[in-house]
């Protein structure tokens, strides 16, 4: 999906769909460009090709199955623009609040999302519903990445049970196969550790002359919160329990608030 920004559309494409100044479209892409964006001849677009380069083009002809264009310029994407790589493990909220979480957190720079089922999650997934949800979430991520002019679409891992996430029983790239410099669980019952103080302590321990990427994992519970035993399981896996603030935030705002604080602290 795409959207306007400074009168320019950003569109994520694969090199395999570009043939001699022609971009192939599927039915859904055509519907969105035609009915929502209302793309016309003469419009300019940024084509982000396979996460490696951007081609700025002008639309010469817009058809149901393709766009014919004239290339104006091309440049490589900048790599490692941010030294903070954030993964958000979000317990599934009610209704479709997950879409709001994905949208907001993509716009501020979260790189990876892991949907989690904990004991107080109301939503229950069968395989068919999970695939349908993921399809919708993938579109939300692409649209949000386009709107915020990101160079890539964040990764969305499959929905995992909490114990599977901690033990990596399915072989999915998750906790056991990934090295995080800092792991945080935001818990409204935490009385001692405040997020901003933990972040400042961590930042103070770093060698500011060393320009290396830091991976931070943030865990957010569902509407009903995390059970004490679940927080303990996370602590046993080297998570630090933190409070975000004095008030209890709505679930769709908690991850956004925590990740915003992290990015602010290290900006």
Query: Torsion angle of alpha carbons 114, 115, 121, 124, nearest 10°?
Result: -140
Same domain, 202 and 235: yes
Is the alpha carbon torsion for 237, 110, 244, 226 positive or negative?
Answer: negative
Per-residue DSSP letters for 41-52? TT-EEEEEETTT
Residue-number span of the structural domain to which 63 is assigned:
4-76
For the stretch 195-241, pLDDT in tens is 999 999 998 787 655 667 889 999 999 998 999 999 999 999 999 99
pLDDT digits (tens, 9 = 90+) for 133-175: 888 999 899 989 988 888 889 999 999 999 999 984 444 455 6
Domain stop point among 26, 41, 76: 76
Which residue among 42, 76, 110 closes a domain?
Answer: 76
Overall number of domains in the chain: 2
Q: Write down which residue in 76, 97, 124 finishes a domain.
A: 76
User: How many residues are present in the chain?
Assistant: 267
| Per-residue model confidence as pLDDT tens digits over 58-84 | 999 999 999 999 999 888 877 555 678
Closest Cα partner for 90 from 266, 265, 259, 262?
259
Q: State the CATH number of the domain containing residue 192.
A: 3.40.1280.10
pLDDT at 207: 63
Whole-structure pTM value? 0.84
pLDDT reported for residue 216: 95
- pLDDT at residue number 175: 64
pLDDT given for residue 176 in this prediction: 59
């Amino acid at each position: 999906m795409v959207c306007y920004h400074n009168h320019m559309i950003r569109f994520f494409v694969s090199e395999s769909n570009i043939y001699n100044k022609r971009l192939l479209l599927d039915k859904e892409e055509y519907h969105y460009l035609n009915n929502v964006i209302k793309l016309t001849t003469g419009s300019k677009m940024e084509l982000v090709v396979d996460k490696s380069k951007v081609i700025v083009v002008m639309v010469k002809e817009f058809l149901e199955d393709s766009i014919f264009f004239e290339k104006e310029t091309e440049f490589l994407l900048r790599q490692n623009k941010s030294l903070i790589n954030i993964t958000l493990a979000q317990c599934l909220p009610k209704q479709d609040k997950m879409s709001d979480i994905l949208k907001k957190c993509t716009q501020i720079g979260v790189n990876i999302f892991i949907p989690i089922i904990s004991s107080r999650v109301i939503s229950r997934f069968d395989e068919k519903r999970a695939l349908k949800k993921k399809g919708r979430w993938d579109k939300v991520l692409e649209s949000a990445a386009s709107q915020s002019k990101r160079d890539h679409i964040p990764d969305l891992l499959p929905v995992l049970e909490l114990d599977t996430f901690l033990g990596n029983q399915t072989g999915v790239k998750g906790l056991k196969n990934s090295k995080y410099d800092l792991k945080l669980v935001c818990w409204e019952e935490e009385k001692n550790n405040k997020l901003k103080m933990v972040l400042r302590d961590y930042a103070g321990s770093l060698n500011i002359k060393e320009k290396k990427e830091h991976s931070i994992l943030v865990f957010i519970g569902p509407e009903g919160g995390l059970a004490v035993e679940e927080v303990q399981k996370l602590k046993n896996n080297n998570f630090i329990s933190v409070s975000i603030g004095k008030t209890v935030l709505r679930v769709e705002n908690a991850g956004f608030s925590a990740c915003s604080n992290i990015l602010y602290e290290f900006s």
